[in-house]
Amino acid sequence: MLFYSFFLVNIRNRFLFFMNILLPIVFLILFGAVFGKQQTGASVAFYSDRDVNIDFENWTKLSDIPTDEEIKSSPYDAIIIGNDRKIQVFAKSNLLQIDYELQVFKLRYTSRGSSAPVKVVLNDVKVGKELTALEYIMIGVIAISLLSVGMNAGVSIYSEYVRYGLFKRLSVTPISSLRLLLGCASANMITGIISSFAVLLLSKFIFGANLIVSLTQLPEYLLVVISSVSVNLALGTIIGLLFKNAAQSVAQIIYTIFIFFSGVYFPIDFLPKVLRSVSYLTTPRYVHLLFQKVYNIPVLDDFSFYTINTIFIFSGLTIASFAMRKFLHSEDR
C-alpha cells in the first residue's frame, strides 16, 4: 500500500513526472539528434607501397606498415594497408561505413601498378567493446534521469511529506519508519527502472543505439539502477534536512551543476584543473562508470564495481532511514 502511494505520487505529480520521465526523453532526442549524425565520420589511416593519394576527410597517410599492436592501439576506426598487390582492411568499429571510399582506394591503388588483380582482405580487429559517442551520451541521459529520481525523492521527504502533514498523520498509526522507508525507496527504484528502460528502448528505435541489456547483464543493470537511486536519495535527503523550505531550489541548482560538471554530457577537458576536480564529487560520474562496466567496458574491475554499488545502497538507505525516524519522532511529540 505504501509502495503504491509513493509510486502514484511520482506519476501524478506533474513536476516529478516531467523531471523523472519526460525530461530524460527530451535530452535523449536533443543529444541523439546531434551525436546520432556523427557516426558516419569514420577516421581511417592507410599505407600504400604505390603512389596513391587520398583526399577524403579523416583519412591519414602512414609512412610505414603498422604492426598488429600499433593497429590495435591506434585511435583510428580502420587501417588500410596496400602492399604487394593486396589490400588489407583492419576494421575496429562495428559502425564502419567506408564501402565507397574503399572502392576508390582500390581503383587508385590498382591504377598505379600492373594489370594483375588486387585482392581485398577484410579483418575485424578485436579490441573489446567501445562506446560510440551516441551510446556514451545515452548512458549519460540514464545517469542524469536516476539523479533526478533519487534526489527529488529525498527532497520530497521534507518539502512535500513533512510540510504538508504526512508524517504528522503517520505518527499516530502503527506504521514503522522502516516500512515507510522501504515503500518510498522501492517506489522510486521502480520509477528509475521505468525511466531508464524508456531511454534504452527509445534510443534503440530512434537512433539505433546498441544498449539493450541481455538477460545475463540484467541483474547487474538493475543493481546499478538501485544503487544510483539510493545514493541520490541520500543526496536529496541531506538537501532537505539542511535547506528545508529552500530544498527544491537548491536541488535544481545542484542538478544543473551535476549536468555540466559530471562529464556525462559535456567534456570537461576545457575547464581549469581546479574545476575538473568537481566531477569527482558528482554522483552521475560514478553511475556512468558503473553502467559502462555493465556493458563490458573495462573502466572498473569487479571489486570496484561491487564496492561502489554497496556504498551507494548503504549510504542511501542509512541516511533516508535516519530522516524518516527523525521526522516521525518529531511529529509524535
Same domain, 241 and 149: yes
134 neighbors 199 (Cβ within 8 angstroms): no
Q: How many alpha carbons fall within 13 Å on the CB side of residue 2?
A: 17
Distances (CA, A) of 182 to 48, 167, 230, 263, 302: 65, 15, 11, 32, 28
Q: Which strands sit side by side in the sheet containing 119-124, from one edge to the other?
A: 59-61, 44-48, 78-83, 86-91, 119-124
Same domain, 60 and 138: no
220 neighbors 170 (Cβ within 8 angstroms): no
Same domain, 312 and 220: yes
Domain boundary among 86, 101, 124: 124
Q: Is 213 left (phi over 0), alpha (psi -120 to 50) or beta?
A: beta
Q: Which of 205, 87, 41 is nearest to 138 (CA)?
A: 205
Average pLDDT across the chain, whole number? 82
Structural domain total, the chain: 2
**Integer Cα distance of 38 and 209 in angstroms:** 13
**Integer Cα distance of 160 and 27 in angstroms:** 27
Same domain, 272 and 323: yes
Same domain, 19 and 56: no
> Which amino acid, residue 66?
P
Q: Which of 318, 264, 266, 270 is nearest to 286 (CA)?
A: 264
The predicted pLDDT at position 128 comes to 54
Same domain, 171 and 218: yes
283 neighbors 224 (Cβ within 8 angstroms): no
Pairing of strands 119-124, 78-83: unpaired
The predicted pLDDT at position 246 comes to 86
Q: Name the phi and psi angles at 115, rounded to 5.
A: -85, 0
The predicted pLDDT at position 270 comes to 66
The predicted pLDDT at position 40 comes to 47
Same domain, 10 and 52: no
Whole-structure pTM value = 0.73
Tell me which residue range forms the domain holding 230.
2-36+132-332
Local mean pLDDT, 10-residue blocks, the chain (333 residues):
77 87 89 63 83 85 88 83 88 67 86 73 65 84 93 78 61 68 86 93 86 90 95 90 85 91 76 78 94 88 95 90 70 50
Same domain, 193 and 96: no
The predicted pLDDT at position 11 comes to 86
Domain boundary among 124, 156, 185: 124
Same domain, 72 and 27: no
Residue bearing cell 561491487: 306
The predicted pLDDT at position 245 comes to 80
Same domain, 23 and 140: yes
Pairing of strands 59-61, 44-48: parallel
Domain boundary among 124, 147, 176: 124
Same domain, 300 and 218: yes
Same domain, 112 and 187: no
